[in-house]
Amino acid sequence: MGDDRILNAGSGGGVSGFSGGVGNGEKGINGANGGSAGTLAEGRRRGLGFYVRIYRKILVQDLKSKMSYRADFIISTIGMIMTNLAGFLTFMILFGRFPSINGWDYHHMLFLYAFSLIALTPVQCFFDNNWNLRFMVQSGDFIKYCFRPVNVFFYFMSEVFDVKGLGQLAFGVGTLIYAWNKIGLGVSVVIILKLIVYLMTASLFMIAIMNAAAATCFWIQGSGYVMVIMFRFKDFAKYPASIFSSVFKFVFTFIIPIAFIAYYPSLVLLQPDSVPLLSWLSPLIGLLFFWLSYKFWMLGVRKYDFTGS
């Protein structure tokens, strides 16, 4: 039951995340052809409410059918747990030999690690279908998403909701609470609000990276590797960006924004006295990156030839 609540709340968040982009794209189209909008009565516009409702319905159906594939669910969950354990083990091995990295001690590093894990949850839960994109595009099956009167990006992403991401969320939350206590951050309404806002910010960057990586398949054959390597890049998100020289700090901040997946947003919580401007601005930059990745993805759909049939 508890899970259900999280799912619903989460789904709303995920959808509203890209509905901003959705509305934008549609507006351009309607604007160009405002005159002929008569077929739909005014009350039947597909706004944010429509998309939230549809997503929820698809989600409920999807979960119902998932229940009938228990083995599948168990294997994925074990996979997720193993991945997280392996990640944690890597972390422990490293810190067994080297007690601090670049002035960051064990607990602060653990905080970054947990932060990045939680930030990964939305991309895993709501945008997992990105991994199937290149196969769909190659085989020509992708075309089916273009025949419905809804946003293609939404329709495509709505098809897969990945429950196993929630295991990682639990793992991340547990680790974060532990590190939080050890660092002695204290609890107040403001700091929790900050945490939530900046966690969502971090997720936006991760989603943007994976959208862009997946969308490369519209132009590049054999681009599966781009996604794989981008997904591996995110493993470095849990280290402080201060380890990079200035050129690469720029690259990993503005071009492949992995520094925003944990480092910049967590500084707001970890160093409240000296928060860099980039950390404060990260929610806006996150929205911008998300919007750009969405546009890039949609551009791919428009430019693609659909010759795969």
Partner 1 sequence: MSSNETMTQGRKRRTNNRLWALTRAGIMESLQFRLGTFVTLFANLIYLVLVYYLWKAIYDSAGTDVVNGMSFNDTMIYLILATALFNFLEMFVVWDMSRAIQSGKIILDLLKPMKYRRYTFWSYSGAHVMQFILSFVPTFIVVMIVTGGAIHIGLNMIWFMISVIFALLVNFNIEMIVATICLYTESTWGINIVKETIVLLLSGASIPLAFFPDSLARIVKYLPFRAVYDTPLSILLQKNGSDEWLGLFSLWGQQIIWIVILSVAGTLFWNHSVKKITVNGG
Partner 2 sequence: MVLNSTCNYNILDIEKENNRYFTSKGKNMGNEAIIMKNVCKDFKVLNRHEGLKGSIRDLFSRDYKTISAVKDVTLTVGKGEMIGYLGPNGAGKSTTIKMMTGVLEPTSGEILVNGVVPYQNRTKNCENIGVVFGQRSQLWWSLPLIESFKLLRDIYMVDEKDYQDMLDLYSSLVDIEPILHKPVRQMSLGQRTLSDILAAFLHNPDIVFLDEPTIGLDVSMKSKIRSLIAGLNEQKKTTVILTTHDMGDVDALCKRIIIIDKGMKIYDNDIEKLKSYFGAYRTLKLIFEDGSIEETVIDESKTDIMDVIKQNDRQKKIKDIQLIEISTEQVIKKIYEGGDI
Q: In what helix (H) or strand (E) does residue 104 lie, and over which residues does it extend? A: strand 104-105
CA angle 227–233–237, rounded 5-degree value: 135
Binding flag, residue 32, partner 2 (CB under 8 A): yes
The binder of 141, among partner 1, partner 2, none, by C-beta within 5 to 8 A per type, is partner 2
Q: Say which residue the tokens 């910010």 belong to.
A: 201
Residues in touch with partner 1 (CB under 8 A): 69, 71-73, 75-80, 82-83, 86-87, 89-90, 93-94, 96-98, 100-103, 128, 131, 135, 164, 216, 219-226, 229-230, 232-233, 236, 239, 243-245, 248, 251-252, 256
Q: What DSSP line would sit under 238-279, residue for residue?
A: GS-GGGS-HHHHHIIIIIS-GGGTTHHHHHHHH-TTS--HHH
Residue 42's binding partner, choosing from partner 1, partner 2, none, with beta-carbon cut-off 5 to 8 A by kind? none
- Whether 217 and 136 have beta carbons less than 8 Å apart is answered as no
CA distance 79 to 256: 27
Q: Would you state the structure tokens that stand for residue 43, as one six-digit string? A: 């009350």
Q: Which does 26 bind (CB under 5 to 8 A by kind): partner 2, partner 1, none?
A: partner 2
Q: Which of 8, 26, 226, 236 binds partner 2 (CB under 8 A)?
A: 26
Q: Does 65 bind partner 2 (CB under 8 A)?
A: yes
State both tokens at 35: 């005159």
**Whether 162 contacts 124, CB under 8 Å:** yes
d(CA 267, CA 280): 9
Binding footprint of partner 2, residue count (CB under 8 A): 39
Among 13, 148, 181, 225, binds partner 2 (CB under 8 A): 148
Nearer to partner 1, 12 or 87 (CB): 87
DSSP 8-class letter at 100: E
The one among 5, 36, 96, 274 contacting partner 2 by CB under 8 A: 36
**Quick one: what does residue 149 bind among partner 1, partner 2, none, with the CB cut-off 5 to 8 Å set by partner type?**
partner 2
> Cα(232)–Cα(288) distance, rounded to whole angstroms?
23
* Residue ranges in contact with partner 2 by CB under 8 A: 26, 29-30, 32-33, 35-40, 44, 46, 50, 53-54, 57-58, 61-62, 65-66, 69, 140-141, 143-144, 146-151, 159, 302, 305-307, 309
